[in-house]
């Protein structure tokens, strides 16, 4: 089985001039966006002063700055990211690429977690990559808000960032990201002015949520629809949220369930992903459950549930998921008991509705599968009896 690390060992010696950008390279750029370049790639948004570094220089500074680089990733992000960064740093393929315009914002008031940077493959080809959800509770709360509001703060920032980069640099544009970063890439491309959309040649969404149905029906979506490439593992959960109008590529993963969100579990053959014909039953059930639940709940119910959930998890003192441990459980119970009755009721009803809808969707697909097996068995039996009759006649 080949993965991102195997690919880098095989392809790392070839520059992009020798072997053009492919879908696996795009995923590597998405993964690299999770690295923290604070203090290395400096961007002063008031004066527009920007630091330009090669990939080698930026990553060397990163490793010099962090004695334990694994700790910068938190508990959720795969530790293989650091191994990949070391390989990328010394490779002919990525080492000389220029990085710039690194922006990272966390705002508790607007529940915004936004990060983006630009990779310059050459003077006329610029790859904008948006970071997915990191270890901050703020980022996860913003993800949940996507189901409530027309847009969230990081989506607005993603559009503004694209417009800024497009005005600053000439040439063609590529956009991409993993998880929420993929959603931001698609959102920014759809909301961009037409003159920028024409410069976009590719948008890569790696297991990120789709868009609200209303956005897919807008004319601006049609302008970039053919340029969007969505990738989801066979048991995708995050990537199945909301809508993907164009067919997505189903990637084979060597993990199970939610762990397939880890890009290092995606299987690769040469310069392409290994694909599957269909999603798993669990992924299809979750997708149907999520969509039905979103329709069933009104805005106020969604808001109360999200705020109640994060009130319980954070207990008013935790800022990151990595800060939460088993001792936190008692605090979570206490926090739940202190909720006002309306929020507590909304919280309980949402959990109950999710379980009920999921069970119904699972039963529906189980019955469908059972009928198919019964029909297949009937056809097989008829065919077998037909063969026996034929032999008898002969």
Per-residue pLDDT tens for 329-356?
A: 666 667 777 778 877 787 778 888 888 8
> How far apart, in whole angstroms, are the C-alpha atoms of residue 311 and residue 288?
27
Asked whether 164 and 154 are in contact (CB, 8 A), the reply is: no
pLDDT at 54: 97
Contacts of 107 (CB under 8 A, 6+ apart): 138, 153
Q: What is the mean pLDDT of residues 360-376?
A: 71
| CA nearest to 284, candidates 216, 358, 211, 356 | 358
At 269, is the secondary structure helix, strand, or coil? strand
6-20, 184-198, 315-329: least confidently modelled range: 315-329
**Does the pLDDT of residue 294 top 90, yes or no?**
no
Asked whether 185 and 131 are in contact (CB, 8 A), the reply is: no
Asked whether 112 and 158 are in contact (CB, 8 A), the reply is: no
Q: For the chain, give me the number of helices (H) and strands (E)?
A: 14, 12
What is the pTM assigned to this prediction? 0.85
Q: In the structure, what pLDDT confidence band is assigned to residue 213 with cuts at 50, 70 and 90?
A: confident
pLDDT at 394: 40
> How far apart, in whole angstroms, are the C-alpha atoms of residue 116 and residue 129?
6
Q: In the structure, what pLDDT confidence band is assigned to residue 392 with cuts at 50, 70 and 90?
A: very low
> How far apart, in whole angstroms, are the C-alpha atoms of residue 270 and residue 22?
10
pLDDT at 366: 67
Q: What is the mean pLDDT of residues 47-59?
A: 89
pLDDT at 343: 78
Share of the chain above pLDDT 70, in %: 86
Dihedral of the CA atoms 351, 355, 358, 362 (nearest 10)? Answer: 170
**Does the pLDDT of residue 33 top 70, yes or no?**
yes
Give percent helix, percent strand, percent coil of the chain, each to the nearest 5: 55, 15, 30
pLDDT digits (tens, 9 = 90+) for 271-285: 999 999 999 888 888
């Amino acid at each position: 089985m080949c993965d991102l690390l195997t690919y880098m060992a095989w392809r790392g010696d070839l520059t992009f001039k020798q072997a053009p950008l492919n879908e696996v390279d795009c995923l590597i750029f998405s993964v690299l966006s999770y690295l923290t370049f604070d203090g290395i790639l400096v961007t002063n948004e008031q004066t527009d002063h920007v630091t330009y570094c090669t990939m080698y220089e930026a990553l060397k500074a990163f490793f010099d700055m962090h004695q334990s680089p694994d700790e910068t990733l938190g508990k959720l992000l795969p530790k293989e990211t650091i191994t990949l960064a070391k390989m990328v740093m010394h490779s002919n393929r990525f080492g000389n690429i220029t990085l710039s315009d690194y922006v990272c914002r966390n705002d508790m008031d607007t529940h915004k977690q936004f990060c983006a940077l630009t990779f310059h493959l050459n003077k006329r080809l610029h790859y904008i990559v948006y970071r997915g959800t990191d270890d901050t509770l703020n980022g996860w709360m913003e993800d949940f808000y996507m189901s409530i509001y027309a847009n969230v703060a990081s989506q607005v920032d993603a559009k503004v960032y694209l417009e800024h980069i497009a005005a600053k640099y000439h040439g063609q544009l590529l956009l991409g990201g993993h998880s929420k970063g993929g959603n931001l890439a698609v959102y920014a491309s759809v909301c961009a002015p037409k003159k920028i959309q024409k410069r976009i040649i590719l948008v890569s969404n790696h297991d990120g949520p789709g868009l609200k149905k209303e956005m897919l029906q807008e004319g601006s979506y049609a302008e970039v629809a053919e340029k969007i490439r969505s990738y989801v593992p066979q048991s995708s959960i995050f990537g199945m949220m909301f809508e993907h109008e164009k067919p997505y590529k189903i990637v084979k993963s060597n993990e199970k369930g939610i762990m397939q969100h880890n890009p290092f579990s995606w299987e690769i053959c040469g310069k392409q992903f290994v694909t599957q014909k269909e999603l798993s039953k669990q992924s299809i059930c979750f997708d149907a459950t999520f969509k039905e639940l979103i329709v069933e709940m009104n805005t106020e119910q969604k808001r109360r549930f999200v705020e109640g959930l994060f009130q319980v998890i954070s207990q008013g003192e935790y800022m990151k998921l990595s800060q939460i441990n088993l001792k936190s459980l008692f605090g979570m119970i206490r926090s739940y008991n202190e909720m006002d009755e309306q929020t507590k009721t909304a919280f309980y009803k949402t959990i109950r509705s999710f379980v009920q809808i999921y069970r119904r969707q699972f039963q529906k697909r189980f019955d469908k599968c059972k009928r198919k097996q019964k029909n297949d068995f009937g056809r097989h039996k008829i065919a077998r009896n037909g063969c026996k009759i034929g032999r008898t006649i002969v």
